[in-house]
A and B are shown apart, each in its own frame.
Chain A
Amino acid sequence: MKKRSIVPYGPQHPVLPEPIHLDLVIEDEKIVEAIPSVGFIHRGLENLVQKRDFNQMAYVAERVCGICSFGHGFGYCEAIEDIMDIEVPDRAKYLRTIWFELSRMHSHFLWLGLLADGFGFENLFYQCWRIREKILDVLELTTGGRVIFSVNKVGGVMKDITPEMAGAILDMLASVKKELKAIAPTFTEDYAVKSRLVGVGVLTKQQAHDLGCAGPFARASGIATDMRKLGYAAYGDIDFDVITSNDGDSYARCYVRIREIFQSISIIEQAIEKLPEGELAAAVKGNPKGESFIRIEQPRGEAIYYVSANGSPHLDRMRVRTPTFANLAGLCETLKGADYADVGLLILTIDPCISCTER
């Protein structure tokens, strides 16, 4: 039997700004097993329901994670609206869809940049983040925030997108589309990049299904799972396909996400075209009583919000189940048998969001 040794990875490490800790059991440069340990960013924010009322919790929920912040605020508000039977105005639904897709775009660009940094392509990393800033500028124009938006509230949204802003969004989309078309071939066709991605960290469809993977990680393994097809917000009226790939390797994950950016551009264009007139928010009366369970599609996959309310301003319980938590099991599976040098890259390919996972 060969000699095994354990290499600690993290919590402070160069591939990701967030702390993730893995104990890597290695045998001659090959990973035999990866044991994750969590809790470095645990804040216990679900417990804040006892101290903040249900309207204030929308802001706390948004700070579950700074990258997918819009989705968290949205999911929480959907859950409360579901309990209280609030009919959200159509315009608010469309505005939510537009902002949701904008945040998906910036999240995917962020990931593409980190991936490029992960395989040592500094220039590409900077290109991706340069393009991402255009999306952030538009988000700042329409919501007032760059990463934390605080536009969702129970019953609707707080800010409107005027025709001028819509024009600015469309201009931005056109230029982002053009620039992404210019850099996408580097990810998908460059020989050096492909040598780092193709065939690395393969997860078969069966494995992905058994381990309960979610989001682009599962879609890259051929599972057509997309909560947007449930038709929440305005997604029911919008025409889009679930993007999948059958390869299940790192290349497929990159490819799926690049195509999802193009898809988001198309969704926003459709939503702006169909944007109805009307109110921004419905009136909220009384306190919620009951429980609700909402599934939405975050940039990283399916997220679940469970809210239980007792008729007082303070909720009984709020629970979030995030996509990265579902994908960690898949990550440990892909790490088995991988080269030690690929560990950073493989961790990136699930697009981990540790802040979401540990809350």
Chain B
Amino acid sequence: MFEIKRSPWVLHYDGSSCNGCDIEVLACLTPVYDAERFGIVNTGDPMQADILLITGGINSQNAPVVKQLYDQMPRPKVVCAIGVCACTGGIFKDCYNILGGADTVIPVDIYVPGCAARPQAIIDGIVKAVDLFEKRLEKHKEWVRIHGEVHDDPVDENEVREVGTEETKTTTKTETAKTEKAKSETKPKSNKKGKKSRRKK
């Protein structure tokens, strides 16, 4: 019916990066690299976005902003951390005001390393995010078919997340990213049980 994977809308937010990755994200959307050939449109509205591109680490002031943006995005959604600061904290990891990478507050699916991340790497990340998005969309549709459309808490986040784990394993190469993934793999299962039992009641 609809080929949403051919027109994913991306939302870009600058966590606390140095701006380098941000202008590279914008450069991706401009004629030379032209991520728009995948149907990608850069939007300023989180409520219409499918993929969140986040650059830079998380500090205490922007943590609630990032969380809010993530929550406002409709499901299914994919998060792509652009640049080494968003992956782990990068060169600013030791700064007193940096809590860590983007995965300290929101679940991250795709990690794109680099300081600054090159447009080619970013496009690679976006393409992987689109694939992942498609898989999640199918899972989401199935869930909606069984349970019906629920607006406030439609899908158990972790149930959908499991689809992505294989995909993300291939994309992450650094040791740190792998450990982060391991954490996110273990956490969901416990949550999932809790949620399911709650639903039965």
A residues in contact (CB < 8 Å) with B? 11-14, 17-19, 39-45, 47-48, 51, 59-60, 63-67, 69, 110, 113, 125-126, 129-130, 133, 136, 145-148, 353-355
Tell whether, in the assembled complex, residue A18 and residue B31 are in contact, meaning their CB atoms are under 8 Å apart.
Answer: no
Tell whether, in the assembled complex, residue A43 and residue B46 are in contact, meaning their CB atoms are under 8 Å apart.
Answer: no
Shortest Cβ gap from B129 to chain A (Å): 18
Alpha-carbon separation in the docked complex, A99 to B15 (Å): 28
Tell whether, in the assembled complex, residue B95 and residue A126 are in contact, meaning their CB atoms are under 8 Å apart.
Answer: no
Given contacts A42-B97, A43-B98, A126-B30, contact A17 B65 (CB under 8 A): no
Given contacts A146-B24, A355-B19, contact A13 B62 (CB under 8 A): no
Given contacts A19-B14, A147-B24, contact A59 B91 (CB under 8 A): yes
Sampled A-B contacts (17; CB under 8 Å):
A17-B12, A17-B19, A18-B19, A40-B61, A40-B62, A43-B95, A44-B96, A48-B95, A60-B91, A66-B21, A69-B18, A113-B30, A130-B30, A130-B31, A133-B30, A148-B20, A355-B14
The contact of A148 among B59, B65, B97, B116, by CB within 8 Å, is B116
Alpha-carbon separation in the docked complex, A18 to B25 (Å): 12
Alpha-carbon separation in the docked complex, A355 to B25 (Å): 16
Given contacts A43-B98, A130-B31, contact A66 B59 (CB under 8 A): no
Shortest Cβ gap from A115 to chain B (Å): 14
- Residues in B whose Cβ lies below 8 Å from that of A39: 61
Tell whether, in the assembled complex, residue A47 and residue B116 are in contact, meaning their CB atoms are under 8 Å apart.
Answer: no
| 13 further A-B pairs in the complex, CB-CB below 8 A; given A69-B20, A129-B30 | A12-B44, A17-B12, A17-B26, A19-B14, A42-B61, A44-B98, A63-B20, A63-B91, A63-B92, A66-B21, A69-B18, A146-B24, A147-B23
- Residues in B whose Cβ lies below 8 Å from that of A125: 30
Which residue of B has the minimal Cβ distance to A63? B18
Interface residues in B73-106 by Cβ distance below 8 A to A read 91-92, 94-98
Shortest Cβ gap from A247 to chain B (Å): 29
Tell whether, in the assembled complex, residue A129 and residue B62 are in contact, meaning their CB atoms are under 8 Å apart.
Answer: no
Interface centre among A64, A113, A129, A147 (most CB of B within 10 A): A147
